[in-house]
Amino acid sequence: MEVTTKQFKRCDLVKTVGRVDSNTAPELAEAFAAINEADRYRIVFDMSEVDFISSAGLRVLINTQKTCKRWNRGELVLVCVPERIMGALDLAGFVPLFKFYDDVVEAVGAF
């Protein structure tokens, strides 16, 4: 799995390629944590090339969302979520907890 982070003026864009499972989820968690440690809490997560996500990955998303939303300082939004992964999010009851976008530019612009 590869994780890349790109900083924009008002938010950070994180992209992951590959599987997010118990093996790779810590790396994703670190990428989000690094952004939070820089006192930044508006994150766009591009999931277009995530081909698998387990509950370990979903836990990273929920923990990051909790951190970002604290004191209304920001949030984590999800972009280009593949259909099957949307199914997993739905099964976990996570859909109401995030904003979803179909386009990275739109998501970044919304901040």
Pick 2 or 106: Cβ nearer other proteins: 2
Q: Are 86 and 23 in contact (CB under 8 A)?
A: no
Query: What is the Cα 28 distance to its own chain's centre?
Result: 9
**In the set 27, 59, 100, 104, which binds other proteins (CB under 8 A)?**
59
Burial class (CB in 10 A: 0-12, 13-18, 19+), 102: exposed
- Provide Rg for the chain, Cα atoms: 13
Nearest approach, Cβ of 64 to other proteins (angstroms)? 11
Binding of other proteins by 36 (CB under 8 A): no
DSSP structure class, residue 72: G
The answer to whether 107 and 14 are in contact (CB under 8 A) is no
DSSP letter (8 states) at residue 14: E
Q: x-or-dash pattern for other proteins, window 5-34, by CB under 8 A?
A: --------------x-xxx-----------
Shortest Å distance, C-beta 54 to other proteins: 5
Q: Does 86 bind other proteins (CB under 8 A)?
A: no
Name the site residues for other proteins (rule: CB under 8 A). 19, 21-23, 52, 54-56, 58-59, 62-63, 65-66, 69, 84, 87-88, 91-93, 97
